[in-house]
Structure 1
């Protein structure tokens, strides 16, 4: 898939051919033959290999594990960054998709990989914070098996309603939620997803009760929100932006601490109801725990440089992605802070995933 300067038009055409979501759980896609052809062709043009499960890197090549299918948001962002990182390091990067179990399959593979700086992985809140609490058994221990390289993207969430719903502002929504005899329902892409947890935390802090309607992915959740089957939805901006532009979806508030440049008129929850509140999902790079400092620093520097690439910045802006500090120390601090916030909530909600 192409994300470099001059190739955005190709990506836009590709994106129209399948449903692009940022579920940050099991990502849902509607593949067509033309989408597959474009993905393979543009990946080849970039020199970023599109691999199948169990691909391995040759000497000197970097294998980038992705725990979700080709074409989903995690995969797309990895490929966006792989091109400039590959150029900086002067090494081929092979993107190796190993989907399943909320990225746990890929994480288990990373834990068993040689700590030589030639195997990296895309991780998110689910991999490092949610899975260790929600899954009864895991084949990896994030704290013992992984070493942080850097956070490279923040995914911004919205509380939104369909165009025919009566709620015009987040104040109206929360006021109604406090007095309604029946809790207002909201759709999410799944139990235990960062989006689900963000709403539950917001509702607790706001003193309101909401009814969670969990779907298997963002696509069916969005379809029912647009049809009025469920009155509200928690959704990432990347997925919602076309529906917002068309007027079919009305954003009420943003979960992050600052407003989105793409939606300057939409307030944050912190502004309107919960001072200091913030909830976002992030994506980051990790390596096996015993990877040497020199290799980690080399990867971290290349990642930071990739985030300064004009084509990357442009694409992040279009997709509404945040660009946080990407050094290992900032990542480690954020990882531990999120564990302190989210893991008690997961346990309190009784969220369990898998067998």
Structure 2
């Protein structure tokens, strides 16, 4: 008989283990983001609902009143910032008909009204999934009328990623974007700075090339998204550093991209179109040049003969004159 009970107990534990596994995707939250558990509860429990949370080296139990038929339980950002990354289990306990929580904390143990218990604090404590399974086992006892529902979520280290390409052309309006596991609505501060920028003294002038601003994380699947437009009209070609961080400074990311100068293109030479006049003057025919007169070979020969004859005549006259002069001189001497 004991063997049968042991086997039944093992089967019961296996059923509990299967029941607590998430049926679909488990929500993931970054450390420092709040976690909200919401739902509905009927019966108007006077003691409210008990919220148990178990995780790596962590557990808590709190009670909250039901507002109408709705409830909300929140792990604030100040609490999640101290949580270790890992999977967490939230069990919401309803006291049901007797209005009493039949499973509760007593000292370092979680006990039930029918005498069952497990250790929740100290060296032999159960934690995480083991503690969640143990609590469910107590609540599943046929001697306990309390009911419950389970939720699971993951706490992860916050991260911001950059999803842009490495190079852009200066003068364009570009979109800088990325993904993150931070919650939608979280504020991010971004700074875009030229890699060649260096601090200078107040009395020195320096050229600043960059931009800064604040943006909000948007919902995305599977990861949330962020982004902003950057007008590069007044930015010089250079390598740029993009720094994006949560406004509380708990997480940041630095990426790089390069602005290159636009490609040099030779502008097309515009065609020149002649503008016609209203009354164009008629074109004048070109005047043919007057041809130089030419001499025939015979005429040239005759001219040469005439010149030679004239020269000969002058020579004869000169000789005659010279002969006469000499005669006169002689005649004078004779007297």
Using CA pairs under 8 Å that are at least 6 residues apart, name the structure with larger relative contact order, 1 or 2: 1
Q: Which has the higher strand share?
A: 2
Q: TM-score, normalised by structure 1?
A: 0.19
Larger Rg: 2
Q: Which has the higher helix share?
A: 1
Q: TM-score, normalised by structure 2?
A: 0.19
